[in-house]
Structure 1
Amino acid sequence: MSKIKRLLFGSYLLVVSGVITLHYEGIGSCLLQELSGSNSLLAVFGSSLSGERRRAELQSGGISLVQLSRRSKRNKADKKREREEKKRRKQEEKQRKKDERERKKREKNEQKQQAKEMKRKDKEDEREIKNIGKRSGIPSNDIKSKIKDLKKQLKLERKTNPSATLKGLFDSSGGFGDAAGGAGDDADSNGDSTANSNDDNAGAAGRELTKEEKKQQKKQDKLDEKEILNKMVDSGMNKKEAKKKVKELKKLLKSKRKSGSPRATLHDVYNGTADTPSGGATGAQNGDIEGRVAALEARVEKLTRANKKRKAEVKNLNSNISKLAFIMKKRVAGTASGSGQGSPSSSDEDDE
């Protein structure tokens, strides 16, 4: 029985350790031979089978635990990598947004700086154009009008060419043309016709006036009409005759503009400098000179009459003063001699 116990103990060790050696295999075979004829064979064989099953379960359980442990470690590493990757992507996105904001801010600052620089350049160009106009003898109104037109053109030009400048447009448009020479020729008209002579040079090719130019020309015609009327009146011409003369000049101006000089002005017609045939210009100039001479003669005659009338008034006033002095002298003498002798002086005073 002790041998059976040893065999059972060896079987137990075999089941627990899960290691089969030749020694234990021999013991197991001996145990089967010993128990082959006994009644406890089935019990021993059943316990052996249950031990084998248990050993297999333990072995399979050990393998699955290792696999699960390795798999768990792999999962943890994968999750860690995923977290790190997510964190990295988040940081990259944050940095990208930050860079985008900085880029937009830089672009905005560059645009502001560029606009500021262009504005400063425009002011410098405008100042330079004004100086050119002043040196050329161009009236300030014409310079302002020219700069205003150039600014409008510049605004349209910069939609397609952002680098366009006011000075560049001024140079490409020919500047003020021959307006400086026109200013010297028309000095008697106080420079008012200089701008219009500039317009004549600009429209020498027969270019029609724009709507804005026609509006500006209409305003200028009204100013020229007032100035010429005042000149005629100051020169001694009757106001009614001056108005009649201005009306004739306006008719002549209208005909000249229709005949191919759309930029002719009232001053040009008045001074005989409009771009018309020489005969008509000479006739207009001669007629104007005759009118001025007649007006001057009328003014001289008027002043002479006024002077004669003034002399007569002064003479009459002196006579009255002398009479008054004589009366006062007699009255003082009568008062000194007595009241009785004052009646003759009174009668003389009445006679006087």
Structure 2
Amino acid sequence: MKILFIGSRLYDDIDYYVRENGIESIITESNEDAINLDLPDQVFIVPRGMDSPKQIAISQNVDAVVPLIGIDPPLIEVAKMKEELEAETDIPVIAANVRAVRLTSDKIKTKEFYNEIGVPTPQYQILAKDDFESKLKMEFPVVLKQGQGQGGKDIKVAESLDDVKEYFEEFDHALCEKFIEGSEISIEVLGYNGEYVPLSPIYKGETTLEGIHPLNKIKTAPCLVEGLDNNLVQRTAYKVAKNLGSDGIFEMDFMFSKDEQQLYAIEVNTRPNGTRYLTTATCGVNSLCELVNMAAGKFSIKDIQDKLEYYYATEIPIGHYKGPDLNDPLKSFKNNDWVVHGPEGYQRITIRADSKEQLDRYVEDLI
């Protein structure tokens, strides 16, 4: 089997799995100095955009295409390429379709989508720079966001009208959302050919007025939040994915208000995400490897259920890792109880153990 992977930055996460399964690998990459270009069987340096990957997929007669893109801006072009290539050839592209990307890449459209399918989401309104003072009807604090953006970019928790005025010094419009005091939850859902399976919910900490960046938070799993039913998180995530009706990885963010005893949907990402290591550590299912299984026609809910394991895990920002050497493959829990990931200076360590007590000991020994 031959698979074309678009983008090299995440490829070292799955190189071992591709080789184990005897798959011939090709990568297209627009940056000739990108990492991991020494790993696949073939590399093509191409212009930005999806025209060249599409043509290479056809000319190299690949069996499937797996985009490994962890940022939002290229996703709509990937989705268009998917629909074109699948319409013109028998080559599947393991990625979200145009409808799903358009709904999830714009936070306002995502809100409207939640309302249409009956999934609770925080109260919101759209504000404009020229009349926000007269139109703002929500009590403080509120969260101000732009329609596009990821990783906390362009988000501000406003506690007063002066904070809102300051935000509009930079922007002309904003999504204004009720600030939910409670727990931040993420969950990955895998989907292909109409089958969807939610994995383990991840606890990402409590909401803060300071708006701490997600990369600077300590995360844990399984999600153990008083009053929260994890089955509800999984059922809600399944409902969202089913209504999106697309393929690949979905990462969904939720808030759980302890005061209201209410789970709120916040946003969806249709790409590989930052919680994937913690998910793998907790339940034994690697979402990127599952993209390879989708490409190979081996993805099924039963297979996922057979793989499920149960560990305690945590992810901690460490900056520079200086601990013991890891076993190969370095970014896999196959032969390791911890994995180090992220760029130098911004590294994180994800650790797993059979019990909460054992996990605490690991953390004490390693950090």
Q: TM-score range by the shorter chain?
A: under 0.3
Q: Select the structure with the greater relative contact order (CA < 8 A; seq sep ≥ 6).
A: 2
TM-score (norm 1): 0.19
Structure with a larger share of its residues in strand:
2
Larger-Rg structure: 1
Structure with a larger share of its residues in helix:
1
